[in-house]
Amino acid sequence: MKKRIEAIYERLPSSMQHVAVSAYGYRRRNQRLGGRFAHYRRGFVEREGSTHEEWRTWQEHRLREMLHLAAETPFYREAFRDVGLSAEALDRFELKDLQSIPLLSKEDVRRDPTALCPGGSPGAGRPYSTSGSTGSPLMLYHSNDDVRRWYAMVEARYESFVGVTYRDPRATFSGRHIGAGLDSRGPFHRYNLAERQLYFSPYHLGPATAATYVEALQKHRPVWMTGYAGAIHELARLALQQGLACPPLKAVITSAEPVTPRVRADVQEAFGCRVTEEYGLIEGVCCALECEHGSRHISPDAGIVEILDGSGRPCPPGEVGEIVATGLVHESQIYLRYRTGDLASWADRECACGRAMPVLGEVEGRVNDVVVCPDGRRVGRLTSVARELPGIGAMQFVQDRPDRVIARVVAEGILEPDVSVEIERRLADRLGAGIQIDVEQADSLERTERGKVRSVINTVEQGI
């Protein structure tokens, strides 16, 4: 059904696609901001001023609730039995006991995602398929209530840290296709009237199209912009290069990609506001947001975050380790001590803003290159190419020549020819003509020195 709806949408003229996007926006707005959203938001706002001890007390209470939910899942019922955790022990559980719970890997989630759901069934949880930052698909389940709690947390932090909310008009760059082919003459956005959201395509942005993006900003006047740092920076860079006057924004909030000093400087100059970097995962186990002093604060009511070394021991401040998170928001699928695969460190001092929230140092787990197309477009975040393809374990994209991209695929068995053809088609749809696409099956993917799989590797040009 979903694919049929998408196929119908693709055939609509752009004017009707605006209408379709707005209709979807009304549904999504209710899913995110309806029901008990306002109630949840008040709780997140009230907790923000908590002291360290108050946060600890709140986290322990909420953790016990999550543990009892976990005990109803097939996965944790067995895991708790293996480590001798009884129902009575869960009632007395403290934060210091967290290391008695085994780590949860992405492979555990992939193997049987419903085993993490209370009762072994997603119930009201809706399925969300994601490729993840490594290109390895995961099936997630979030109920409307889960989604509302999460967005209540995010909006409470956005308003406190940056001064914007989802009620303000915004522009968005992300990996979702807007429905325009690469040979399209525009427009390269779709407008979601329900949420006053300008949805930009990152795949069409380049020297020849930058002016149309700026025109859309001038027409719709968003208050803030969110999405991929690479795409937002590319628009800022091209606007400055071509002398295009961008309307000022109140905030730019980036995610999924690292923010360099060059990105911050160009965005500040082009849009007249600072860049706020956000760290989070679609699994909904943790969230960090930069405050006005530039510190990345973990939201303690989103999740309990540990940073562990290769032996599973907590890292001291300044030492890089893996982020392991226990989600405290989503109840349809339980994640305890989830290995995110992302690398970071704790800051070695508290922030001058006065918030008693843990502060992350550098987040090193999302260093992705971009593919540079012959027409000047710079395309990153290609992990969505793997979404919903059967038999795909992980995927990595390597540009080793200006005119070639290699898709390295780790498959569950033999890579089927029709899947290989579909990968080629999806890449061609995003990258356009002039780039040779080769699909290769691999036993494993190249990793960084710290063990992170980068989704895009460009050996021709290492970014800007």
pLDDT digits (tens, 9 = 90+) for 106-139: 999 999 999 999 999 999 999 987 755 545 678 9
pLDDT digits (tens, 9 = 90+) for 207-251: 999 999 999 999 999 999 999 888 898 899 999 999 999 999 999
What is the structure's pLDDT at 65? 98
Strand-pair category, 287-290 with 224-228: unpaired
What is the structure's pLDDT at 449? 56
Q: What average pLDDT does the segment 89-96 reach?
A: 96
Strand-pair category, 392-401 with 456-458: parallel
Token duo for residue 223: 């208050």
pLDDT level of residue 367 (50, 70, 90 thresholds):
very low
Beta bridge partners of 172: 199, 226
C-alpha distances in Å from residue 80, one per residue of 24, 126, 281, 304, 401 = 41, 26, 26, 19, 51
Q: How far is the C-alpha of 25 from the C-alpha of 194, rounded, in Å?
A: 5
Cβ atoms 363, 256 nearer than 8 A? no
pLDDT digits (tens, 9 = 90+) for 415-448: 999 999 999 999 998 898 889 999 999 987 776 6
Reply yes or no on whether the pLDDT at 463 is more than 50.
no
Q: How far is the C-alpha of 365 from the C-alpha of 360, rounded, in Å?
A: 13
Token duo for residue 449: 């020195």
Cβ atoms 341, 310 nearer than 8 A? no
What is the structure's pLDDT at 92? 95
What is the structure's pLDDT at 9? 85
Mean pLDDT score of the chain: 90
Give the closest residue to 417 by CA, choosing from 455, 390, 384. Answer: 390
Q: Amino acid identity, residue 18? A: H
What is the structure's pLDDT at 8? 85
What pTM was computed for the model? Answer: 0.83
What is the structure's pLDDT at 46? 97
- Determine what percent of the chain is predicted with pLDDT higher than 70: 94
pLDDT digits (tens, 9 = 90+) for 188-216: 999 999 999 999 998 888 999 999 999 99
Give the closest residue to 205 by CA, choosing from 175, 225, 245, 226. Answer: 175
Strand-pair category, 170-173 with 189-192: unpaired
Q: Amino acid identity, residue 11? A: R
